Structure 1
Amino acid sequence: MKRIVAPLMLVLASAPLVIPTVPATAQQNQSDLSRVNAYIRAVTTMTADFSQTDRNGQTLTGKLTLKQPGKIRFQYQKGVPLLIVGDGKALTVIDYEVRQVQRWPIGNSPLGALIDPSKDLSKFGKVIPTDDPSILSVQARDPKRPEFGTITMIFKRDAASPAGLQLYGWVALDSQNNRTAVRLTNQRYGVPVDNNAFRWTDPRPRGRSAGG
């Protein structure tokens, strides 16, 4: 089978989705960062459809499930033998085709900026100006750990959504400049999500179940 786009790009980091064009005041930037913090803390659960496009233009789709704090699942479309699960402590990438499991602390990935309500974006995030006032773009990276890459979260201002924001998606850029864009649709907030959603089956010899 042809090797599928590396799933690590989904969780490693990001680059701006839009080209900065409009200056913003420091006060406005701080207000926007506070609003994103409020959004992350307000979202207890969320489900959405996602499409993931790599730098070669290959696109995969699937279902995202999120439950704070720290639990997230990327279930890829049928026929894609990949699964990404965050159990509250670590992110795990399971490749069922080659029976490989990779696992690392959530704190080692900028995706933690989205699924860790205790983080303060004002300490490691910045607003990326856009030419569309309805779009809020926030980039998060650890300057002390550039190998973790960066993640730029894209929000649409929406009074009906948590903290007045709707998560539109994000863009990831790892330390090797591999770029992956993720777009969300059909977002639903506050839906019941069982903790079993963050369990997975270990494909390695003597396979076993694992979970959050």
Structure 2
Amino acid sequence: MKRMRMTFRSCVGAAALAALAVPALVPGEVALAATNAESAQLNEAVTALRGISTMRADFVQTDRTGQSVTGTLTLKRPGRIRFQYEKSVNMLIVSDGKALTMIDYDVNQVQRWPISNSPLGALLDPNRDVAKFGTVRPTGNPNVVSVEVRDSKHPEYGVITLIFTRKPSAPGGLELTYWVALDSQNKRTTIQLKNQRYGVPVTDNDFRWNDPRRRTRR
């Protein structure tokens, strides 16, 4: 479990960044070489993501060694997300719309990523012009759409591949079923979603957390 936790810490940030970065896709920034069909699929994916106001889902997170942990994801647009991990992983990842925070209760450590300096900026600040590039990748299945996202100006953010499945009851008719985050060190993290529930009651209190360094709640 100790080795697993160390590996988990090294990739968990990238996985969470992926989750928040995906709705920042901008259809007008598709590479010019994209075909009309690819552009249409990318527009579908963007519409599906932007159609989510709130969502809860179960997830399985798997690292490059094959180690997996489970948990519950809660999302409220714009910019709020919570990864509540299983009890064996005494960690939490939360974005309150201003910063992404990882809390490790085993070592009483808190790490924060400023959203203004991350790919999350376009999602959390609609007025900010942040270059994003989405490329549709062939899947061989008309019911599955794969979109690769990378910021060419910031290769250190890595590459994120989003996999959608056509589902009439999902926002925009597409459901995000999993994503793969590959960081700049080629560390791969996969998040698979299931039991997605849309439009569920979610409040700002869902994105508060207990600071292990002090007793007051943030």
Common fold: TM-score over 0.5: yes
Q: Which residue of 1 aligns with 2:199?
A: 190
The Cα offsets for residues 5-38 of structure 1, whole Å up to 9 and x where unpaired, read as 1222322459xxxxxxxxx961011111111111
Amino acid at match of 2:13: L
The Cα offsets for residues 38-91 of structure 1, whole Å up to 9 and x where unpaired, read as 112210000000000000000000000000000000000012111000111211
Amino acid at match of 1:8: G
Amino acid at match of 1:97: D
Distance 2:121 2:149 in 1: 7
TM-score w.r.t. length of structure 2: 0.83
Distance 2:167 2:124 in 1: 22
Distance 1:57 1:44 in 2: 32
Distance 1:132 1:165 in 2: 14
Distance 1:109 1:140 in 2: 14
1:140 aligns with 2:145: no
Q: 3-state DSSP class of the match of 1:166?
A: strand
Distance 1:31 1:116 in 2: 25
Off by >4 Å, runs of 4+ in structure 1? 107-110, 113-123
1:208 aligns with 2:213: no
Structure with the higher helix share, 1 or 2: 2
Q: 3-state DSSP class of the match of 1:167?
A: strand
The Cα offsets for residues 116-166 of structure 1, whole Å up to 9 and x where unpaired, read as 594999942111111222111111111111111121111101122110101
Q: 3-state DSSP class of the match of 2:202?
A: coil
Q: 1:57 to 1:114 in 2, by over 3 A?
A: farther
Selected match of 2:57 from 32, 44, 48: 48
Whether the 8 Å contact between 2:62 and 2:189 is mirrored in structure 1 is: yes
Correspondence 1:142-161 to 2 at 5 A: 142-161=151-170
Selected match of 1:90 from 95, 99, 108: 99
Selected match of 2:15 from 10, 15, 26: 10
Q: Which residue of 1 aligns with 2:23?
A: none
Structure 2 unaligned segments of length 5 or more: list them. Answer: 20-32
Amino acid at match of 1:188: R
Q: 1:149 to 1:188 in 2, by over 3 A?
A: same
Q: Which residue of 2 aligns with 1:27?
A: 36
Deviates more, 1:157-166 or 1:117-126: 117-126
Q: 3-state DSSP class of the match of 1:57?
A: coil
1:100 aligns with 2:105: no
Structure 1 unaligned segments of length 5 or more: list them. Answer: 15-23
Distance 1:120 1:31 in 2: 22
Distance 1:9 1:25 in 2: 27
Q: 3-state DSSP class of the match of 2:142?
A: coil
Q: Which residue of 2 aligns with 1:21?
A: none
RMSD after superposition: 2.5
Report deviation, 1:105. 2.7
Q: 3-state DSSP class of the match of 1:159?
A: coil
TM-score w.r.t. length of structure 1: 0.85
